[in-house]
Structure 1
Amino acid sequence: MKNLSESDVKKALPSVDLKAALKSALMGLSDGTSKQPNKTIVELQNDKGDCMFFTGVVESLGCFGVKASPYLVEKSAKGENPVTAYTMLVSSETGLPTVMCDATYLTVARTAETTGLAVDLLLNASSAKKVAVIGSGQAALAHLEVQLRDRKWEKVSVFSPSLAASEEKVEAFKRLGHNALEIASSAEDAVSNADLVMLCTSANSPVVNSAALKVGCLVTSISTDAKDAHEIDPKSLQQMDVYCDYRETVALKAGEMSLAKAEIDWSYDSIVADLPELLSQSATVETKKTRFWRSTGLAIEDIAAAFAIAEA
């Protein structure tokens, strides 16, 4: 069995076509060769934390997989990252484990690449000139790096409340190499006239005023798995075409959707399409409408990513 550390993952990533691996696994949800159950959460006593288990099957890769992601409160109290993540792959032929992979950073990378795939499918790339990023952590950096790799942007705007005060974070964005990158003074300034708005935070309340969004833009959101976590006003879903990574599991994870259902009688039936449907071309995208795409993270993405890294 291969044991892959975070450093192994980071070393291998530049040589891996992660987006292609994710695309193949997601297309398997259309023909049944990929299986994606809902996550399972096990809580510790006395509010000490919990562990989320993400399971799936990608038959094209010949493996089952599970990602375990614990959240330990005591680590947070010590100033340490309370979240870890490990993905184990098991051969569907032999039943034996084949890979154990530290998935902490790989989760960041596969999330950014999955968003990149959604952008490929939902953005009117021929007229897109400005991208805005809300957030300043690893996820924000990874998302912007994918976009700067995949297409040319005339303007890049980044905002988070703590960004301007952190020279280290500002330099990290500047090292991505875009000569028209600006650190905005507010979220509204950042998203003004942006064709693509990527929300890359762990917020549990809106991080941008929906009224500031350009009509016809694409908004992507990652948020977190925490109950009711959301980055955009749930009421704004009524004015948007809504998409997601996988409609069969989104109801348990997307806070803005569950809140919209409760507050304004929004329906999950309103979701226009998910990634498998978009990839199979069974849905039409109206790019003149403002579009909202929600990432919830899928085990088959973790399986495909870990497999690709192990094979590199």
Structure 2
Amino acid sequence: MSSPQIITADQLPTLDPKEVIMSLRFAFGALATGRAVQPTQTVLDLDGGGDIISYPALDLDAGVYAVKLSPYIPRVDGALITAWTLIFDVTSGKPLALIDSKALTTLRTAATTALAVDLLAKPDANTLSVVGAGPVARAHVDYLRAVRPFSEIRMHVRSARELDLPGVEIVQGVETALDADVIALCTSAAGAVLDATHAHPAALITSISTNAPDAHEIDPALLPSLEIYSDYRTSAAAVPDFVAAAALGWNSKNILGDLPELVAGTAPAPSRTRTAFFRSIGLGIEDAAIAGLVTRMLGLITSPPR
């Protein structure tokens, strides 16, 4: 059996946000129909506070099995974070590619948020606040633009800085971040960055997962006042926000829907009478979707159009 092709960061093709989002939509749709499998991720602790997370997933409709390995190694001069995805053709069992997935992880995180925004934000959402200014925050701007024609986009930063983001207003501080139809939290915070109760009832707040211990971007005590959605209901028990809220009496059964249910149309839409909150943790099915797209673009696998 031939060895997988190694695809380094500089060999990755340019990805169209709409194609990435569509690949994720198909993958979560496959989860809804039982044509994909999302096992629980595995975390192995390393000495010194680091870990290695394994993200497996199987998508029969796409014809791929993938597993991403992501080491997190603390260092005095800053943590070292890498990510590599090994992808197999499930028909032949052939390992197709070993892909440097650090940049792809940023894009699939933004694409997952964008899919949630497309499914949960009000159709006429016109204003967007992005809290954070790192690579994940900047990717969110590109990907959220692919699902809503925002006429006003603000990026909220902790300290004054210049960013080359056409059409984006850079705002110091988060005081006005909640005055938007969609509020995308893209920080590495381990504590609340804003008071979600001040958002408009028809607004949608999104939040991502990071390597920060007990990472959360809103106060878990506020979850009962929000309409909660997640990327995958089965993985919700590992979300730090939900763990902390459960200790206060909140029940994860109060999650209204996850992405497979939303794609399938079996989850209720937000009522617009209480602020909606979407929390993603990051899943192997997302890595499989974007890695599968890369391998198809490079001609390493052919799969029937979906």
Whether these two folds match at TM > 0.5 is: yes
Is the contact made by 1:122 and 1:287 (CA closer than 8 Å) also made in structure 2? no
Which residue does the alignment assign to 1:131? 128
State the match for 1:51 in structure 2. Answer: 52
Matches within 5 A, 1:92-107: 92-107=90-105
Q: Offset of 1:4 from its aligned partner? A: 1.4
Q: 1:19 and 1:120 mapped to 2: Cα distance?
A: 10
CA contact (8 A) 2:193 2:217 kept: yes
Distance 1:187 1:153 in 2: 19
Once the two structures are TM-superposed, the CA of residue 186 in structure 1 deviates from its matched residue by 2.0
Aligned amino acid, residue 269 of structure 1: K
Query: Which stretches in structure 1 are left out of the alignment for 5+ residues?
Result: none
The two structures, once aligned, show a CA RMSD in angstroms of: 1.7
Amino acid at match of 2:10: S
CA shift for structure 1 position 60: 1.2
Select between 181-190 and 20-29 the one with higher mean Cα deviation.
181-190
Partner of 2:302: none
Question: Could you tell me whether the CA contact under 8 Å between 2:230 and 2:236 is conserved in 1?
Answer: yes
Higher helix share: 1
Tell me by how many angstroms 1:307 deviates. 1.1
SS in 2 for 1:61: coil
The CA deviation string for residues 165-223 of structure 1, in whole angstroms up to 9 with x for no partner, is x33xx22xx2xx21xx32223212222x2110000011110011223322221000003
Aligned partners of 2:17 and 2:142 also within 8 Å: no
Residue 69 of structure 1 is matched in structure 2 by: 70
Q: Matches of residues 195-234 of structure 1 in structure 2 within 5 Å? A: 195-224=181-210, 226-234=212-220
Whether 1:4 aligns to 2:7 is yes
Q: 1:261 to 1:29 in 2, by over 3 A?
A: same
CA–CA separation in structure 2 for the residues paired with 1:233 and 1:48: 25
Alpha-carbon distance in 1 for matches of 2:25, 2:247: 33
Q: Give the distance between the partners of 1:153 and 1:15, measured in 2 at CA.
A: 16
Q: What are the within-5 Å matches in structure 2 for residues 116-195 of structure 1?
A: 116-126=114-124, 128-162=125-159, 164=160, 166-167=161-162, 170-171=163-164, 174=165, 177-178=166-167, 181-191=168-178, 193-195=179-181
Aligned partners of 2:27, 2:100: CA distance in 1, in Å? 20
- 2:279 is aligned to 294
Contact 1:132 1:194 (8 Å CA) reproduced: yes
Q: Which residue of 1 aligns with 2:43?
A: 41
Q: Does 1:88 align with 2:86?
A: yes
Counterpart of 1:202, as a letter, is: S
Question: Post-superposition shift, 1:15?
Answer: 8.5
Structure 2 gap ranges (5+)? 298-306
Give aligned-pair identity as a percent: 34
Picking from 251, 254, 269, the partner of 2:253 is 269
- 2:23 counterpart residue number: 21
- Partner SS for 1:77: coil
Q: Which segment drifts farther, 81-90 or 280-289? A: 280-289
CA deviations 1:119-176 (Å, max 9, x no partner) are: 01101122x22110111100000001112233222321211213x1x33xx22xx2xx
TM-score by length of 2: 0.91
Query: 1:228: Cα distance to partner?
Result: 2.2
Q: 1:198 is aligned with what amino acid?
A: A
Matched residue of 2:221: which SS? helix
TM-score (normalised: structure 1) = 0.89
Q: What is the alpha-carbon distance in structure 1 between the residues aligned to residue 85 and residue 232 of structure 2? A: 20
Shift of 1:114: 1.1
Which whole-Å deviations, capped at 9, do the CAs of 1:280-309 have from their partners, x for residues lacking one? 111221233210001111101101101101
Other structure's SS at 1:215 match: coil
Kindly indicate whether the alpha-carbon contact (under 8 Å) linking 2:130 and 2:141 is maintained by their aligned counterparts in 1: yes
Deviations along 1:82-128, whole A, 9 cap, x unmatched? 100000012222323111111100011011111111001101122x2
Q: Hey, what's the Cα distance between the residues in 2 that align with 1:269 and 1:250?
A: 10
